[in-house]
Structure 1
Amino acid sequence: MFDGFEEFDIDTPGATIHERRGGSGPPVLLLHGIPETHLMWHQVAPRLAEHYTVVATDLRGWGDSGKPPSSLDHEPYSMRAIARDQVAVMRSLGHERFGLVGHDRGARCAYRLALDEPDVVTRLAVMDVVPIGDVYDRANRTFSLSYWVWSFLAAPAPVPEQFIDAAPAVLVDFMLDTWPEVQDAFPAEVRTA
């Protein structure tokens, strides 16, 4: 897995970020979704590395990246803070401008990064992310079944951490088993917007 890639950590002002890098050519940053890590790109990254310098990171709080303490307003885990980590990583590797690909939670980070640092992003691709405005406009029972995890994860520490630590497989299995059917309950125009 990730043949020809190097694995290392980079210290940013906000957290230590774990990553893999491989290939050569224009730089592309890959951001994972929930409940994944950079390993989700193990089949995509080597193919992209045939033409690009590929960087795949674990977002702050996930995988082998740092997990700094949060605050009452959760700012240390905001998409803005996580995006700053990613810009710092790419700059430390000598990439002032780069392509950006985000999946799910990584897509939210990619949006924020592109909004905050438009001169840094050369191309942007976001995948498997539901437009929040449409979701809130159509909130119903399906919404509560699908998005409970975001309220749960936003609870004050150590509540989510202790629940997850007690039964991580139960949480991940429930999320992965129920999300496809919940996503199918949204109209096609919301899923593909």
Structure 2
Amino acid sequence: MPTKTAPKKPTTRKRTTARRKKLAPRKAPTRTRKGGSLIDRAGAWMALRAARHAKTHMATATSRRDAAILRITHEGCPTCQGNGQIFTKDKDGSFTGSKPCPTKPKVQKVSRFKVAIAARFGPEKTSGLIGWTCPCGTKEKPRFRDAKEATKALRDHEKKKHGAKTVGGAWYAQVAASPAPAPANTP
């Protein structure tokens, strides 16, 4: 008599491991009251205003330090008159931009104390920086290191106040008051 064999179990297929975990469906964010209380809104407004002011202040301080370093390293340079950069002018005498002084600096290392003093005190603390004026009367003090940054600030002003139309703003550069040239020795 034939022996009965147990029926064969189907072989279980080995499953491949999940390659990445499936994310749960996103929940809608819980809604909060817009703005919060008056004190919360005032605090947020003050924080944003302080952050904007700090950003501008830090950029200005950095520009002043950079300009002070250039003034100290190029002191007495006949090419740039001790400014560290040369301001270019158009045929009509209007300011068109700036370029670095091509001569090698006389001083290679500068004291941090001297830089801090030159950048913070004295009438020439902003010499070597560029500002802009708009015909509407708005002015920006010399605080930019190059004409490109000053142009960007002027364009931002035009977007906000003049509907992104160019109204003919002008740039100006503050230069160090150079001493009167020494008289030439003529025989």
TM range (shorter): under 0.3
Q: Normalization by structure 1: what TM-score?
A: 0.21
Which is higher, the Rg of structure 1 or of structure 2?
A: 2
**Structure 1 or 2: larger strand share?**
1
Q: Normalization by structure 2: what TM-score?
A: 0.22
